[in-house]
Homo-oligomer: A and B are copies of this chain.
């Protein structure tokens, strides 16, 4: 752990650094990204060696049961993954610069024009777990969008994160951009950071529900993120059965620990009798444990299938595992009510051949991502064509859904006048504002 002073000094220096990176033009930022990419490429052995240290420690933890096997897999930087690190930097270099875009311009008076242009946010703190490649990904997005960044990775990736940070920082120092990327190491460091509201403009926590809630409760810095991903599929009463079953299986089993995996299945009561038994049989093949409402359990029993009874708690539980809660509903409207009440406003899908119902669902479900006849698993910045994502947000302000480069910028108003006075526009002989769009 760094001392409280060190963290405060780091935040202050990051703020100063943010003003420098903010003013680089696109070609300078891309040159920087490419230089980091080159350095990463040259350092592949060093990266592999450091990662091995983390893996060895993690293997011990897996052996004594205190770390899960999937977490170990996410930690490992295979040769292929190390090659991808520099590819990733090259790709972000190729993305359009989100800074300096004119959003609108207007003539307020003769000789006085206003424009609104995008600019970087300033200093962003990103807190994440296990996968060390996030150091590279978040750094690439931050630099491209002209922001300074403070990173906090998972304890289990300590050596990997450290070497990646060192490589990045070497290049930054050569570019006279010291303190633009910063790495902190412990949750205690994070606790100090949370009070740095004068120097940090945005926090993006990616971690467990409890951790995200802790962050939200302990800072007045704006927080962008999602504390849970309780994603729904609603099966309407006019469906293509094969299509339906495939989507449900994909959404639940493709990557059950992802935040966009299916957690609750809602079925229109007219469809339930025929489709529910097939779904139970199909998901059983994938070892999915299912919990149902009373009606669902009754239908299961009538078909000699086993279904445990869900409790009220299940409707607001994110399992991130091969577990699914199932509920029958009386109508589309009840399904939307359920989702808007119990969901986490992350990603929700309707399966229906009725286009009108689909559009109603897309309009009225209050979530960042609302889908028709597609797996919830498509909810992802890369899939959406944003190039990459720094996180997924269930906020209702700033940035919602997968957060790409355009979630890393804000705008400023620039007014160019020639001695214009506000008092000329009031009183009996007031000039009138022109308000002519340019």
Indicate if the CB atoms of A375 and B246 lie closer than 8 Å.
Answer: no
Residue among B122, B247, B402, B435 making CB contact with A421, cutoff 8 Å: B247
For the complex, give the distance between the alpha carbons of A23 and B240 in Å: 29
Number of interface residues of A (CB under 8 A): 72
Knowing A108-B383, A378-B108, the reply to whether A370 touches B422 (Cβ < 8 A) is: no
**Which single member of B255, B395, B413 contacts A401 (CB below 8 Å)?**
B413
Q: A108-B378, A370-B415, A417-B372 are in contact. Are A410 and B397 (CB under 8 A)?
A: yes
| Residue among B22, B122, B254, B419 making CB contact with A373, cutoff 8 Å | B419
Q: Tell which of A155-163, A274-282, A359-367 binds the partner.
A: A359-367
Please state if B114 and A368 are interface contacts (CB–CB under 8 Å): no
- Given A122-B366, A412-B368, A412-B370; A106-B384 close (CB under 8 Å): yes
Would you give the 0/1 interface string for A179-199, flagging 1 where the beta carbon is closer than 8 Å to chain B?
000000000000000000100
Q: Are A395 and B222 in contact, with the CB atoms below 8 A?
A: yes
Cβ-based interface call for A377 (8 A): yes
Number of copies: 2
Partner of A384, one of B19, B201, B374, B413: B413
CB-defined contacts of A26 to chain B, threshold 8 Å: none
**Known interface pairs A250-B423, A364-B19. Does A415 touch B378 (Cβ–Cβ under 8 Å)?**
yes
A59 at the interface (CB under 8 A from B): no
In A394-438, the 8 Å CB interface with B consists of 395-402, 410-423, 425, 433, 435
Q: Which 9 A-B pairs have the closest CB atoms?
A: A374-B417, A377-B422, A243-B419, A250-B421, A398-B398, A201-B396, A397-B398, A371-B415, A216-B220
Q: Residues of A with Cβ closer than 8 Å to B?
A: 19, 22-23, 106, 108, 112, 114, 121-122, 197, 201-202, 216-217, 220, 222-224, 240, 243, 246-247, 250-251, 254-255, 340, 358, 362-364, 366-375, 377-379, 383-385, 395-402, 410-423, 425, 433, 435
